[in-house]
């Protein structure tokens, strides 16, 4: 009977149904009475096992229900559908295969995609780069071949061991053409010929060299004005050509003199457009075949008026060369005379070439056209 | 049962903890084919597959709800490993093809898990046995009170006792008998081991 009472007490204890006095008494009993403690332990185990049993029983029933439902749905499906033989193998196996290899497959696929698009893009970029290069405007300054130079230097060093021979002038890095604009030693050439120059010399047809000291640059119109500063130089004398400030007409016969190689070369054509590269209104388009080294050369019309300064050509078009209009040269000279110079530059206005034949004109002009040699190292 | 798809194992575990039936059904259906495949390919029947699968699922659910399982792998791997171990034992018990199972998936050695699982199974079976031995009406009385959590009054009405105190006394008597029966059977079992 004691056991029954003990169980009642324990259950009440668990359900919080004990009065405060009974509670303290019960807790005391737990501490002191070993029999009571044993009952307590047994109750705990029984209770937990019962609960565990109950839950598990419920779960089993639930799982059985799920299983039956699953089998019912599986049986409802037509059996024919379940045993389809496909060329791709068993579905379960495919699933396993996919699970085992999906990471590798994903990496391979991404690499493939990247490669394809990378290749396409780089081909595209490469093509557009080629096009850009074709459409490019080239300035016609001449880059002197380096290999030839160094070979020549080697041969020189090999032959001439004696120091008595005066050293020959070093070959220049770049060369262009320039021409006189006033008798007291001013010349004009293209800006791109003398840009990043360390020192500039001009050389006439006879091989006489003058040192140039001051350079006035006008990058926007691709012009540069040089001043000879040399003890040997006195004066050019009066210039045979005059500078034209009006626009010349389409179809006018024009010609130029320049130094695309070591000797002076004549080129002739006509004025084909009043605008230059990509609609540039500061220059003309002319149909004279030009080569690197022609830059900075004078462009004259049949009357011997100076109408422009050769500047460059377009590579992807046949016979499209450009020359800066002489009006901009005049403008530059005026600005320079006002701002930077003590003594203004006097452009020649007298034209002694009109109504003379072409060879006569050339004979007079050639002394005023120079090769511009640029050193930049 | 609604067709719920669980996209992550965490969501599934949360569903199991909150006693969501659809989560349990989803879990059960998801992995049954794997175990069925394992058992059928290793000289088993569908019935046996269901048996061991349910054992594994039950212990998994219990442990998840008790928060006594730290899952460091996929649920799938856990279930497969437990089922594999159980099936190996059954094969060894049947004394044929002992310990040879053709593997189709990754698995972990689950010796402790399975030992624990078997303890639980024994405990469950002993309690079922004890309840059977207890006989009517004690069995129903105990089940109603402790498993179904019915109130004293409902039980009194159901059994036709005169009042709740009578029922209570009857219940305690039944509980004491159950205690004796259970500990007898359980101790015998423990001693045999």
CB neighbour burial string for B34-43, b if at least 16 within 10 angstroms, e if fewer: bbbebbeebe
Contact in structure between B23 and B6 (CB atoms under 8 Å): yes
**Distance of CA B62 to CAs A28, A261, B59, B113, B174, Å?**
35, 98, 5, 13, 27
Phi, psi values for residue A309, rounded to 5°: -125, 125
Q: B75-94 and B111-134 helices cross at what angle (nearest 10)?
A: 70
Residue B2 reports pLDDT greater than 50: no
Contact in structure between A285 and A321 (CB atoms under 8 Å): yes
Residue A165 reports pLDDT greater than 50: no
Site of tokens 């002191």? A32
> Selecting from 1.20.1630, 1.25.10, 2.40.50, 1.10.10, what CATH number does the domain B117-192 have?
1.10.10
Phi, psi values for residue A307, rounded to 5°: -115, -10
Architecture of domain A141-154+170-377: Beta Barrel (2.40)
Contact: B58, A60; criterion CB under 8 Å? yes
What tokens were used for A322?
């450009």
ipTM of this complex: 0.75
Measured distance CA(A307)–CA(B31) in Å, rounded:
93
pLDDT of amino acid B6:
65
Specify the domain boundaries for CATH 2.40.10.120 within chain A. Answer: 141-154+170-377
Q: Report the range of poorest mean pLDDT among A141-150, A321-330, B28-37, B39-48.
A: A141-150
**Does any CB of chain A come closer than 8 Å to the CB of residue B50?**
yes
Express each pLDDT in A104-156 by its tens digit. 999 999 999 999 999 999 999 998 886 665 557 777 777 776 555 556 656 66
**Does any CB of chain B come closer than 8 Å to the CB of residue A70?**
yes
- Within 8 A of B28 by CB-CB distance, chain A residues are 63, 66-67, 70
Mean residue pLDDT across chain B? 77
Question: Domain limits of chain B?
Answer: 9-109, 117-192
Nearest residue of A to residue B178, measured between CA atoms? A46
Total-model pTM:
0.43
Radius of gyration of chain B (CA): 21
A305-314/A242-243 β-pairing: parallel
CATH number of B9-109: 1.10.1740
- Within 8 A of B37 by CB-CB distance, chain A residues are 92
The torsion angle over the Cα atoms of residues A240, A246, A252 and A257, rounded to 10 degrees, is: 40
């Amino acid at each position: 009977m004691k056991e029954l009472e003990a169980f009642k007490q324990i259950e009440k204890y668990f359900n919080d149904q004990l009065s405060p006095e009974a509670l303290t008494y019960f807790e005391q009993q737990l501490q002191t009475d070993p029999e009571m403690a044993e009952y307590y332990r047994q109750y705990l185990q029984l209770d937990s096992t019962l609960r565990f049993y109950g839950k598990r029983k419920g779960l089993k029933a639930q799982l059985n229900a799920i299983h039956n439902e699953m089998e019912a749905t599986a049986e409802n499906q037509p059996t024919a559908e379940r045993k389809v033989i496909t060329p791709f193998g068993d579905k379960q196996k495919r699933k396993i295969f996919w699970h085992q290899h999906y990471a590798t497959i994903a990496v391979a696929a991404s690499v493939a995609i990247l490669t394809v698009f990378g290749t396409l893009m780089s081909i595209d970029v490469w093509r557009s780069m080629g096009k850009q290069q074709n459409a490019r405007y080239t300035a016609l300054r001449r880059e002197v071949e380096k290999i030839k130079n160094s070979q020549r230097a080697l041969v020189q060093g090999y032959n001439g061991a004696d120091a008595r021979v005066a050293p020959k002038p070093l070959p220049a890095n770049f060369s262009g053409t320039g021409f006189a604009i006033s008798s007291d030693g001013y010349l004009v050439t293209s800006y791109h010929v003398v840009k990043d120059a360390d020192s500039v010399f001009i050389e006439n047809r006879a091989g006489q060299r003058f040192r140039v000291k001051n350079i006035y640059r006008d990058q926007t119109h691709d012009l540069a004005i040089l001043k000879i500063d040399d003890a040997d130089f006195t004066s050019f004398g009066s210039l045979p050509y005059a500078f034209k400030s009006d626009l010349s007409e389409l179809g006018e016969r024009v010609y130029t003199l320049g130094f695309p190689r070591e000797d002076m070369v004549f080129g002739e054509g006509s004025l084909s457009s009043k605008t230059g590269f990509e609609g540039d209104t500061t220059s003309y388009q002319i149909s004279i075949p030009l080569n690197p080294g022609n830059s900075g050369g004078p462009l004259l019309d049949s009357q011997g008026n100076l109408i422009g300064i050769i500047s460059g050509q377009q590579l992807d078009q046949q016979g499209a060369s450009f020359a800066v209009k002489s009006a901009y040269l005049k403008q530059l000279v005026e600005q320079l005379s006002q701002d930077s110079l003590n003594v203004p530059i006097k452009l020649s206005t007298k034209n002694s070439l009109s109504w003379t034949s072409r060879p006569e004109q050339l004979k007079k002009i050639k002394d005023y056209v120079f090769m511009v040699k640029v050193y930049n190292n | 049962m609604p067709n719920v798809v669980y996209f992550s194992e965490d969501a599934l575990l949360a569903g199991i903890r909150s006693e969501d039936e659809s989560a349990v059904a989803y879990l059960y259906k998801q992995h049954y084919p794997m175990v069925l495949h394992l058992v059928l390919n290793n000289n088993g029947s569908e019935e046996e597959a269901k048996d061991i699968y349910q054992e594994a699922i039950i212990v998994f659910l219990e442990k998840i709800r008790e928060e006594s399982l730290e899952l460091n792998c996929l649920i799938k791997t856990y279930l497969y490993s437990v089922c594999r171990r159980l099936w190996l034992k059954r094969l060894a018990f049947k004394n044929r093809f002992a310990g040879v199972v053709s593997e189709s998936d990754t698995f972990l050695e689950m010796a402790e898990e399975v030992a624990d699982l078997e303890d639980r199974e024994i405990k469950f079976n002993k309690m079922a046995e004890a309840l059977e031995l207890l006989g009517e009406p004690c069995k129903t009385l105990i089940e109603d009170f402790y498993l179904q959590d019915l109130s004293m009054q409902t039980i009194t009405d159901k059994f036709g006792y005169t009042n709740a105190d009578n029922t209570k006394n009857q219940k305690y008597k039944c509980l004491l008998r159950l205690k004796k029966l259970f500990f007898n059977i359980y101790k015998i079992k423990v001693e045999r081991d």
